[in-house]
Amino acid sequence: MVVRPMCRPWFICCQLLVIWPLWLVYLVLGGSTVAGLDSIAPGSTNLMINDDCEDLRHQLWRWWTYQFTFAGFAHIFYCSFLLVFLGVPLEGFNGFGYMFFMFNVGVLGGACCFLFADPHEVPLVGMDGGCYSLLVTHLIDCARHFSRKERPRTTIGVLLTLLLLHVLITALSYDAAASSLPSHWSCFGGAIAGILVGVVAGRDAIEREHSKWTWKIAAAVGFILIVASLFLAMRWPPRDIFDNVPWCWARQVTNVTLFNDAEYHCVRCQDLDCVDYWNDVAYTMERINSLGCGWSPLSSR
């Protein structure tokens, strides 16, 4: 029996050599823990499809470059830990090309899911989608070959613990006042991408007798999900799966004449005419990231 030599983890080394110097340099220069590639040209590389009613959908590079900015030390450290812990054995077995493809499909899947479910949130940062792609691949592989694995219950327990820790760290990294944040939706999208890539491109899937049909089904599902996500996420004005109406501008406004009180009310607009109207007739506060800002029938003229 010929034992195939393990590949060196070149992709993982390259990824770490990009993200850590960028984050450390701009942490020192800028004084903000939210740092990385986007610090070079603020607001140009993190994931967003609009800045208020400015349409940014044509800036497709954001779907990939957002992974090189992080929301604090805990965020970048734990993503790096997952990349090394989960990625070294995968790249060692499958090589640089497979690892690059799988990780970045996870990043793309995370972007699709985030924009589909939460386009009004503050810009997305971090490589969480790629890391979840790796984590889910390991989890499924262990479950599929449960009888052939050494201590499979321990392995699954460790992977689930890593999953819960990452969810906790992402939650703790959340700061409504921050300029950019990690998101659970990007993790979910990366996990789905990891499942599909593992079936379509994984060596084990190719070697199985019924892999031909499995491959075709997974490829079809992946294609449908990508097309549907792109169609829904790229609508204008932006609208997530929870919105009854589309909008691209949100503010807390107060006007005694219009509202018959001195309280602040949530107002959302779909176009610049609406924005100009409310800027002319009301005192406005910066939007609160759409949190606690429900739709009001007074949000359009």
Non-local CB neighbours of 276 within 8 Å, separated by 6+ positions: none
Non-local CB neighbours of 221 within 8 Å, separated by 6+ positions: 196
The whole-number average pLDDT for the span 243-261 is: 84
The whole-number average pLDDT for the span 144-161 is: 79
Confidence of residue 296 (pLDDT cuts 50, 70, 90): very low
Top pLDDT among 173 and 84 is at 84
For residue 63, pLDDT over 90 is answered with: yes
The whole-number pLDDT of residue 80 equals 95
The whole-number average pLDDT for the span 71-98 is: 89
The whole-number average pLDDT for the span 20-48 is: 91
For residue 288, pLDDT over 60 is answered with: no
The whole-number pLDDT of residue 301 equals 38
CA nearest to 42, candidates 127, 130, 125, 129: 125
Give me Rg for the CA atoms of the chain: 22
Lowest mean pLDDT among 82-96, 181-195, 207-221, 254-268: 207-221
The whole-number pLDDT of residue 106 equals 93
The whole-number pLDDT of residue 286 equals 57
The segment(s) of the chain belonging to CATH 1.20.1540.10 are 10-233
The whole-number pLDDT of residue 204 equals 54
- Report d(CA 203, CA 102) in Å as an integer: 13
CATH level 3 topology of 10-233? Rhomboid-like fold (1.20.1540)
Tokens 């079809």: give the residue: 220
Confidence of residue 297 (pLDDT cuts 50, 70, 90): very low
Confidence of residue 21 (pLDDT cuts 50, 70, 90): very high
List pLDDT tens digits, range 167-197: 777 766 655 555 666 778 888 899 898 888 7
pTM for the full predicted model:
0.84
Mean per-residue pLDDT of the chain: 81
- Report d(CA 244, CA 266) in Å as an integer: 15
The whole-number pLDDT of residue 174 equals 59
The whole-number pLDDT of residue 284 equals 66
Length of the chain: 301
Confidence of residue 300 (pLDDT cuts 50, 70, 90): very low
List pLDDT tens digits, range 203-234: 554 455 456 777 777 778 888 888 888 888 88
Residue 283 three-state SS = strand
The whole-number pLDDT of residue 129 equals 93
**Token duo for residue 205:** 């899937």
CA nearest to 193, candidates 119, 241, 131: 131
